[in-house]
Amino acid sequence: MNPSPTWAAALLPSAVLLPLAWAVLCVLIPARARRVLGPVGAMTTAAVGIAIAVVVAVGGPVEAALAGRVPPLGIAVRADGPGALFLLLTSIVGGLVSLFAAIHPHSTGVAGARDWFWSAWLLGWSGLAAVFLSADLFNMYVAIEIVGLAAVLLVALGGPGAWRAAFRYLMVTVTGSLLFLLSLTMVYAATGVLDLRLAGERLAAGDPGGVHVTVILALAAAGMAFKSALFPLHGWLPDAHAGAPGAVSPLLSALVVKSSFFILFRVWTEVTGPDPVVGAVLGIAAAGSVLWAGLSAIRTPRFKRLVGYSTVSQVGYLFLYFPLSAAADGPEQQRAAWIAVALLAFAHGLAKSSLFLSAGVIKDRLGTDRLAAMTDQDARMPVVTMAIAIAAVSLAGLPVSLGFAGKWQLLMAAVGTGLWWVVAVAVAGTLVAAMYLLRPVQTLLSGESSDHRPTPGGAGDGGHADDGGDDEGRSTDPASGAHLRGTGTRAVPRAATLIPLAAALLAALAIGVSGPLADLAVLGMTHGGGA
């Protein structure tokens, strides 16, 4: 392990321990203090994550051995390009969602439960950072367990109506963890180590291309497919999103499902190396996610479920990396495939956080997320409508957006490896995505009336000039101070509606830095495991 500057290496454990310390602090302090210290801890954590990404982009990968003991006796943490890129995405999305939650506390859960949002979210953030920075399989296992348990807690904050979905999520995440535990147990039995690099080297030396390696990879792939909601194991995710609070869904979609994908990427590239059989199976599942979930999004009547199915569909694009990598002829094609998927993951995280935050705003304003109730709402919610439209452009991979850059790179990588079926899936998926993403935009801009739309506090068009300013004469929730707009409806602070717009603009305009992001994505990347 090459030594890194002490000040730079100190940032790595800070990215994990800082949010963990804030999570514990938020458990110990009174509820009122959490609403102040929680956002402070989140913004501080985001700053550390961004700093690590900048350090890696400028000076190269950073490594540190905890307590000064190097593997295999010690534990190493590492920020290379792939880890830094995903940590940067976590910091940006986490910062935006935390700001939204601080401005609009009602979005963090039902009364009585929302006080625990900051503890659960900061705990999950600590787990995410550990996933992206760990250089050890066991630490990855512990980290993904923390992420899963924190995500279940966050979903449960939606109240009794969300508890069934949260329990289902718990069963899924435990199943995935057990499969991954079996995989790393087999790695340890075969190599005597759990450090990623050392395990890859010893596996390659002892059983190159053997059945043992395929089984290890297959178990890891199955476990992470559960956690990432890959087709046909995706049924739990739309329900979890439908019941989750407005500030929770963007975290699940933009970050949590990517952490399990990232673990499988590490195992694939550093431990086992590409495997054509596992790659083919994952490719079939990925194609099913892209197309089947997209068609399901077209049929669903609710906005949050639509965006949830969209997440399943977009996750499919990420898992197309594995058949592309298995078919790659040399490091250059490996790099091309990873750059495409990394750009898509970054664009998806920003755009999907925008869509879910927008869906939460609409559900609060109208008391429902039914698409039929959103008819002709663009005048009352112009900022949210603009955010949805811009995010949809990036998510569908249309010009000019970061999603387009990623989709174009994916097509080029597929052509380069001769996998024309991937081209067909990507083109068909783009058309399907355009169809389901057009639904909420068209509905918001439609001039037709809707019998399903509730009247906001009986005020007719009153208050339509802003996206949730102060509304006098309406009752107030004593727990959050938010104004109620009739049965099941609630005003949203004007400032909160700017957050999804900011995320959507970042998803579109980030195409301007797609080159630096691509360079960061492959910085220090290992191609093909230890073989």
Task: Summarize pLDDT for 280-296 with one digit per residue, the tens.
Answer: 999 999 999 999 999 99
Q: In 297-362, which ranges are E strands?
A: none
Say which residue, 236 or 454, is predicted with more confidence: 236
Average pLDDT over residues 309-331: 92
Are 148 and 222 within 8 A, CB to CB?
Answer: no
Q: What percent of the chain clears pLDDT 70, i.e. is strictly above it?
A: 87
Q: What percent of the chain clears pLDDT 90, i.e. is strictly above it?
A: 57
Per-residue model confidence as pLDDT tens digits over 335-370: 999 999 999 999 999 999 999 999 999 988 888 888
User: Residue 512, Cβ neighbours under 10 Å: how many?
Assistant: 12
Structure tokens at 356: 């879910």
pLDDT on residue 526: 75
Average pLDDT over residues 141-161: 92
Average pLDDT over residues 169-186: 93
Residue 503, pLDDT above cutoff 80:
yes
Residue 37, pLDDT above cutoff 50:
yes
Please tell me which of 36-40, 66-70, 374-378, 443-447 the model is most confident about, judged by mean pLDDT: 36-40
Give the range among 135-149, 198-212, 312-326, 475-489 with minimum mean pLDDT: 475-489
Say which residue, 152 or 8, is predicted with more confidence: 152
- 395-399: list long-range contacts, CB under 8 Å, 24+ apart: 395/310, 395/314, 395/347, 395/348, 395/351, 395/352, 395/355, 395/433, 395/437, 395/507, 396/430, 396/433, 396/434, 396/437, 397/430, 397/433, 398/430, 398/434
Give the range among 327-341, 403-417, 480-494, 502-516 with minimum mean pLDDT: 480-494
In this structure, what is the dihedral angle of CA atoms 43, 46, 52, 55, given to the nearest 10 degrees? -70
DSSP code at position 319: H
pLDDT on residue 487: 44
Tell me how far apart the alpha carbons of residues 322 and 337 are, in angstroms, rounded to a whole number. 9
Give, in order, the Cα–Cα distances in Å from 18 to each of 100, 134, 154.
21, 16, 20
Parallel, antiparallel, or unpaired for β 62-65 and 76-79? antiparallel
Average pLDDT over residues 521-530: 72
pLDDT on residue 73: 67
Q: Please name every residue paired with 483 in a beta bridge, in sequence order, or none if there are none.
A: 476
Are 137 and 194 within 8 A, CB to CB?
Answer: yes
Confidence of residue 67 (pLDDT cuts 50, 70, 90): low
Per-residue model confidence as pLDDT tens digits over 93-139: 999 999 999 999 888 888 778 888 999 999 999 999 999 999 899 99
Residue 486, pLDDT above cutoff 50:
no
pLDDT on residue 241: 82
Tell me how far apart the alpha carbons of residues 196 and 207 are, in angstroms, rounded to a whole number. 16
pLDDT on residue 4: 56
pLDDT on residue 463: 35
Which residue do the tokens 């068909």 mark?
Answer: 428
Pick the closest to residue 357 from 312, 303, 310 (CA basis): 303
Average pLDDT over residues 15-33: 91
Containing 276, the helix (H) or strand (E) segment is helix 276-288
Q: Which residues contact 405 (CB under 8 A, 6 or more apart)?
A: 343, 347, 511, 514
Average pLDDT over residues 150-170: 90
Average pLDDT over residues 183-189: 91
To the nearest 5 percent, what fractions of the chain are helix, strand and coil? 75, 5, 25
Q: How far is CA 60 from the centre of its chain?
A: 25
Tell me how far apart the alpha carbons of residues 520 and 244 are, in angstroms, rounded to a whole number. 33
What's the maximum distance between 2 C-alpha atoms anywhere in the chain? 75
pLDDT on residue 261: 96
Average pLDDT, the chain: 85
pLDDT on residue 185: 93
Average pLDDT over residues 7-20: 86
Tell me how far apart the alpha carbons of residues 415 and 324 are, in angstroms, rounded to a whole number. 10
pLDDT on residue 64: 80
Give the range among 59-68, 132-141, 334-343, 424-433 with minimum mean pLDDT: 59-68
In this structure, what is the dihedral angle of CA atoms 243, 245, 504, 48, given to the nearest 10 degrees? -130
